[in-house]
Amino acid sequence: MFYELSDEQKAFQKRVREIYEREVSPLVEEYERKETFPVQLFPILGKEHLLCLRCPKKYGGPGLDKISECITVEEMNRICVGIAAGVMVHGGLATDPILHYGSEELKLKYLSPAVRGEKIGAFALTEPDAGSDASGIRTTAQKQGEQYRINGSKTFITNGTICDFVTVAAYTDPSKRGIGINLFVVERGDPGFSVTKKLRKLGNHSSDTAELAFDDCEIPKERMLGEKEGGGLSQLEGTLKSGRITYGARSTGVGQAAFDAIFNYVKKHQRNGQPLSRSQAIRFILAEMAMSLEAMRYMTYRGAWLFDQGLATMKDASVIKLFCAESVQSIVQKAMTIQKQAGLMADNPVQRFLRDGRLAKIPEGTSEIQHLVIAAGLGL
């Protein structure tokens, strides 16, 4: 049973924190303001072996475990949720399906440059009329000779305008709801693939988000993941299980950032002539925030440990995603409550944490979907 990070993992955590503070922190203000992703980070993080962490050494990756991946996710989200989103999708949703279901040729073609940060990946599942219900997508992939022709649209796609390749979910057999889905790798230069719109958001400003279109997009049949048509829904479920555990670390990271900011604020400021740190009400709020973070962190890393042992279920992943996503809402709201008007100022990071933290309830399945998955796991 997992209880504590090993000395090796603690050393890795320290190294990761130092790298992110050096390479990511100086970029946050500029790229949040510009609402773009700093693409120059990819090769930098690639050289530090901090992309696609669970990718085996055979393909150039560091071959680390899920716990180590969660360590990097928590540390980066503590600094900037928007920038972290691009790195997370690239190293998880975009490349995990290729690693687990792609041919050896596809692994060598896409994973190795992705690990080095030379190619940027995206993952396209969500559509205008289908989000958490993956089986509801309408995008199709029709086989024609040695090619597949993809038609459909995707939205809310992280790394959409900057990606070199995108892992796309589409129906090869629309008559088989869910079962007839497959995953395909589409490259930026493929005919019929286009970015139709860059999206602006309430939070996660430095995350690149776009709408994509596939109009008779032709790709070689070899770029389908898996050996046969159908079965893509199970591939999606495996990817989502991993992603929901990762989201626990994401919520923990932004929650920790909010706590750190408000803790330092309380130690330095007074109200009505008295130090804020002596207010019993504020001390109680801080204690509750710290308590929530302890529970979020333990639940996340226990889930990562279960994942590494091959024991994690979809219910386990949904419990982590739901608990941490909801807990971080309370944490950032408490931080804003303490700061009052000061928390609303544009140069105060607490307002960014509030906006960014709200996103935790939506990707990888909304909080409502997590309730349904947990209930099903209970046999209801």
As to burial, measured by CB atoms within 10 angstroms (0-12 exposed, 13-18 middle, 19+ buried), residue 357 is buried
Question: Looking at this protein, which amino acid is placed at residue 119?
Answer: K
d(C-alpha 282, C-alpha 131), whole Å: 39
d(C-alpha 236, C-alpha 246), whole Å: 15
Considering the candidates 69, 74, 229, 364, report the single residue annotated as catalytic. Answer: 364
The DSSP secondary-structure symbol of 127 reads: B
Q: Rounded to an integer, what is the distance from CA 270 to the centroid of its chain? A: 38
- DSSP characters over 289-328: HHHHHHHHHHHHHHHHHHHHTT---HHHHHHHHHHHHHHH
For residue 364, indicate whether it is catalytic: yes
Question: Which of these, 326, 53, 32, lies nearest to 202 by C-alpha position?
Answer: 32
d(C-alpha 174, C-alpha 152), whole Å: 13
Length of the chain: 380
CB 203 within 8 A of CB 358: yes
CB 172 within 8 A of CB 163: no
3-class secondary-structure state, position 348: coil
Phi then psi for residue 178, to 5 deg, are: 80, -55
d(C-alpha 155, C-alpha 157), whole Å: 5
Catalytic sites, residue numbers: 364
